[in-house]
Amino acid sequence: MTHPLSALGVLHTALSLIPLVAGAYGFVRHRAIDPATRSGRVYLAGLVLSVLSSFAVSSTGGLNPGHAFGVVVLLIAFGGVLAARMRWLGRLAPYLSTFALSFSFLLSLVPGTNETLTRLPVSHPIATAPMAPVVLHALLGCLVVFLVGYSAQCRRIRAGNAK
């Protein structure tokens, strides 16, 4: 095995799947990550657990840019929760909230995509480095899906406001 995972690495990976599954379920079931739903609450709790567990896993032995990235993802996600509650934002609030929560999901895919493509299959990983073209193309695909999905979410919000 070229990149063995420690027990903490396995735990972090398992915890990181919680927001991925809950967020995907929220998008399918509710067309958004909505903190008022169970899947939205599980997404946020899983995101916190994933980021916290990342501090126990470090190939450099200390804090690294990946840890800061995780904190930024948390700030964006919880900024989305707060945006929905800020009445002074008016009609912009649901758009900002939806953007932030969806964007946090997109950003949480970045390390997962990188780690998956540079580690699997174990005998001959698909990518040789985090900036390999296959990784960048996969992330570009995620960005395109995000943009299409957010546009659809905006149309849904607008249709709800028109009623």
Q: Where are the domains of the chain?
A: 7-162
Q: Name every residue whose Cβ is closer than 8 Å to that of residue 153 and which is 6 or more positions away in sequence.
A: 31, 32, 98, 102
* pTM reported for the whole predicted model: 0.91
Write out pLDDT tens, residues 7-40. Answer: 888 899 999 999 999 999 999 999 999 999 999 9
DSSP 8-state assignment for residue 128: S
Are the beta carbons of 2 and 115 closer than 8 angstroms? no
pLDDT above 80: residue 2: no
User: Quick one: pLDDT at residue 1?
Assistant: 43
3-state SS class at 36: coil
CA distance 163 to 158: 9
CA distance 103 to 146: 8
